[in-house]
């Protein structure tokens, strides 16, 4: 899926919502624990009730990995189920991988071939070599960590380079833009720094941004939309816990849908200026 196709789906669904599948066996409705694969069963019901509202699903790989091989099976079934249900969402592996050479090529193979993800989040510390094997896959996306929303983001991301005058996260944006194009590079930008989004747009005006941190992490959707939108929307705003764990009862998927509708309705207002 390229940028234009993504934008078309955004316009059609009137949404730029990404639903984070941070599925934790200890947090899902207890009645699901009797099913053969509780994690998959949970994801399946969330997908059934939200796929017309979501532009992307973002399984958080740590949650599956922590369960060992059976977690990877649940992940695989989830990706396949989403693919079977709709071709109008992007499936993002939130993996934050970052290695080089043949190792990086193995990670690209994992997410784009072994599992059929459309996009993967990547850490930029080791530079271009981290991203290049992922860019070799036509129609797939690399989503590079740029500015994150956690308190220790400032440990390194705000260091200012003496020769260019750029902050580290600004260098990641400007350099990352050159590694690929607006059809295969996105950036992760933390929503709790909504005022920084204006600055991000100076360095990456046209790329899509994946914005976590709306909802449970406290970011304001309005701020994000006001400061981060571009002509192609250019935003995928993620909510995880605020949607998927809104209820622990048997109606959890309906409640998740209601939460997703709330966000999608608000998003449709912000999209009015574009469409």
Catalytic residue list: 96
What are the backbone angles phi and psi of residue 91, rounded to the nearest 5°? Answer: -110, 115
Indicate whether 40 belongs to the interface with a second copy (CB under 8 A). Answer: no
Q: Which is nearer to a second copy, 165 or 231 (CB)?
A: 165
Binding span for a second copy by CB under 8 A among 3-11, 36-44, 69-77, 258-266: 69-77
Q: Which is nearer to a second copy, 207 or 264 (CB)?
A: 207
Please tell me the distance from the alpha carbon of residue 185 to that of residue 3, in angstroms, as a whole number.
10
Residue 65 CB, nearest distance to a second copy (Å)? Answer: 5
Q: Which is nearer to a second copy, 129 or 249 (CB)?
A: 129
Binding span for a second copy by CB under 8 A among 5-13, 28-36, 157-165, 254-262: 157-165
Residue 166 CB, nearest distance to a second copy (Å)? Answer: 8
Total chain residues near a second copy (CB under 8 A): 59
User: Could you give the angle at which helices 221-228 and 252-271 cross, rounded to 10 degrees?
Assistant: 40
- In 3-state terms, what secondary structure has residue 128? helix
Please tell me the distance from the alpha carbon of residue 242 to that of residue 180, in angstroms, as a whole number.
33
List, as one string, the DSSP characters of 219-262.
Answer: B-HHHHHHHH-BTTB-EEEEESHHHHTS--STTHHHHHHHHHHH
Residue 152 CB, nearest distance to a second copy (Å)? Answer: 3
What does the block give as tokens for 152? 């220790």
Interaction with a second copy in 93-132: which residues (CB under 8 A)?
A: 94, 96-104, 106-107, 109-110, 114-115, 123-130
Residue 173 CB, nearest distance to a second copy (Å)? Answer: 12
Indicate whether 88 belongs to the interface with a second copy (CB under 8 A). Answer: no
HSE at residue 12, side-chain half, CA atoms within 13 A, is 12
Please tell me the distance from the alpha carbon of residue 107 to that of residue 120, in angstroms, as a whole number.
10
Q: Which is nearer to a second copy, 9 or 124 (CB)?
A: 124
Indicate whether 172 belongs to the interface with a second copy (CB under 8 A). Answer: yes
Residue 61 CB, nearest distance to a second copy (Å)? Answer: 9
- In sequence order, the 6+-apart residues with CB closer than 8 A to the CB of 63 are 21, 22, 23, 24, 71
Torsion of Cα atoms, 209 then 214 then 218 then 223, to 10°: 60
Q: Which is nearer to a second copy, 45 or 104 (CB)?
A: 104
User: Could you give the angle at which helices 194-203 and 168-179 cross, rounded to 10 degrees?
Assistant: 50
Interface with a second copy (CB under 8 A):
22, 24, 60, 62-63, 65-70, 72-73, 76, 94, 96-104, 106-107, 109-110, 114-115, 123-130, 145, 148, 150-157, 159-165, 168, 171-172, 175
């Amino acid at each position: 899926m390229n940028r234009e196709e993504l934008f078309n789906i955004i316009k059609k669904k009137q949404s730029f919502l990404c639903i984070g599948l941070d599925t934790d066996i200890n947090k899902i409705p207890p009645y699901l624990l009797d099913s053969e694969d509780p994690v998959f069963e949970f994801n399946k019901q969330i997908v059934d009730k939200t796929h017309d509202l979501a532009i992307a699903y973002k399984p958080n790989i740590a949650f599956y990995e922590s369960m060992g091989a059976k977690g990877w099976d649940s992940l695989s079934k989830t990706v396949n189920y989403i693919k079977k249900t709709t071709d109008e969402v992007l499936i993002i592996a939130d993996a934050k991988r970052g290695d080089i050479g043949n190792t990086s090529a193995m990670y690209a193979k994992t997410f784009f071939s072994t599992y059929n993800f459309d996009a993967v989040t990547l850490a930029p510390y080791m530079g271009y070599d981290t991203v290049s094997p992922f860019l070799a896959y036509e129609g797939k996306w690399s989503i590079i960590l740029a500015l994150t929303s956690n308190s220790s983001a400032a440990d390194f991301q705000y260091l200012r380079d003496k020769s260019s005058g750029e902050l580290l996260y600004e260098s990641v944006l400007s350099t990352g833009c050159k590694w690929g194009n607006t059809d295969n590079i996105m950036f992760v930008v933390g929503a709790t720094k909504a005022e920084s989004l204006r600055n991000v747009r100076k360095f990456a005006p046209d790329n899509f941004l994946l914005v976590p941190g709306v909802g449970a992490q406290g970011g304001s959707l309005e701020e994000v939309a006001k400061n981060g939108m571009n002509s192609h929307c250019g935003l995928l705003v993620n909510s995880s816990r605020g949607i998927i764990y809104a209820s622990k009862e048997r109606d959890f998927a309906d409640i998740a849908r209601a939460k997703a509708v709330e966000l999608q309705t608000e998003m449709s207002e912000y999209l009015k200026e574009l469409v």
